[in-house]
Structure 1
């Protein structure tokens, strides 16, 4: 019995820790929260939300519940959640110009805004802004001024660049454009001054991912990544490094194909050279990496030249050879691209050819409800065009049922209206 009681005590304490490891929001009026802040000599953190606001719900569910967020905010702020649509908060909404949700405000006890954040943010960004308010770290603007004065301080420049995307995301209009240009120039000078071979570390890898998102024809950054591949794998991890290199390379190949540049063939020779250390380890079923990527590239090159017979021939060779390793996106991507190229009205003989791809995509058990709804609609469109109105109706009805599970209610309503419109034409 003694041990049971001890176990219950431990369990209860664990539950208390779980409850306290999140932001504790003050239950009361705004005026009461201000009074509490004055008494405890703290600033206020205000979360303006609405019941229908999906980003608000995600912040409440995934960010405010994090232990590191709860611990810091409970220690330094009186936290208060206010429904922006509640009548009693109308004056506050007008006073603080709450035009977007969520709106997150840091206030002093006089009710003056210390810092304002529009829209949902990740935990790191929210914590950083809170620390700026508390004077524990420099604001982005002040850090930028410090960087300009200490031009040889690469560590300081690195710190600023790491913070830049989150800061730029809070800017609008001219200010946003101004900071994009400034930070782009700062990144270029940082790479030049530090040199690429000395950037083999997690922080600089993060900067490359942030600021170098497209491969160029003669790309020193991409070549340095490949040259220092093993070092990056040791410092960052194989999964993240492979994902980044492959996204750059595949994106470049697709851009060449899309623009009708046959030099993609020459570029693909790297798969048998320095890129083999990356692509050679990727499973492509019965195909080699070189064969698989060539089928894909040839397919897309001919798609954008509107040589659809060659497009379908190459894609089917790819699907057949690599079928065991493919994901749902491998099947849906080419269909989406085809419909996009033809603005939704693909040639009549193409509908029958994409139906097996869509049916294969639907066979995957794990798929977001939004994507499944979209694929069912596309399949319904294809079946309708081939004259099979019975199966088309079944697809549209199934899409309507699936779409009801979409969390974003506004998106759900829009999609269901579109589905009903399609059903009305059968």
Structure 2
């Protein structure tokens, strides 16, 4: 007791300190007036919740009584959150449930919710509108027969369709999360259905899109390497097989997630959570496999875009300088960059968009607490959806060929609309 009277000092010296415990018998909470509110607590106890798997992800379970417990609490391992340690917060595995789940206050009106949640809703709507517009104008451009003579355009046309699906799932994910956590959705079967479908498709659609952009980069590099010997018909044929192969591989490497998704009830906070729960015997192995496959599906397309961008520049300049020895390498580099800027700008923009996610994943290991600021994680989450939104800007606008085709189609459609409107007035 002589020592306890000094326990106010840590609270007063450290404004960010919320609680602490000593090595003997006390745990103390720092109050708003920076006083220590201490009570006895045996932090060496190891009540294992009577062998029940109350805590997820190897969380350590504690009961208030070994023989007749009335309450249990989980001590979560690093990078796991939630009253039952049900949420993983590692970099590449961050989902909207983890970032915003504990920001949502059940039974409160949406207008009274925390600012990050409201801002996220506004950004989601803006990204949906912009993304759908971008996808539709991209489809209008790439569906033209005069462009679809090479596999590159087939990849981009498919990516535009994937973009529509991605942004639709992206928006549904936000609103289903909000409605579920606000207890506005109570049908357990419906909640389980969206739990199985939304996160899985949202993940694989993003990955398929990244691989399609990588396929575009590879084909453009091969086109410049082979020059006039490039086989357009073979390119079209292989593009269809490659797209199918990418879809199967991406879906196959993530199929273990929907097969192991379940709903768990958080009785303390009156919430329902959608989580991935693997059997204990394979839990560690499958968690590592999921993390590795997620990183591969992100890093590989990123690396392909990076290599193809610089490889394209060097290949063009090298070939030209060899054929025209009187012109310097650097001059050819400048000339060819202006001539084929669309081939180079596209992968470079995708690289710049991906960099923040890479930095966030490797520099910030994981969220340490549900009370931690979510702004940086929200920024990383929304940035991951920029590639499908920027498809038209990244691939059509820099290309003279694609943009001229888009203008031609728009002029043709505008003339047809004016004729239809004129005929309607006459009739």
In which range does the TM-score fall when normalised by the shorter chain? under 0.3
TM-score (norm: length of structure 1): 0.21
RCO higher in 1 or 2 (8 Å CA, sep ≥ 6)?
Answer: 2
TM-score (norm: length of structure 2): 0.21
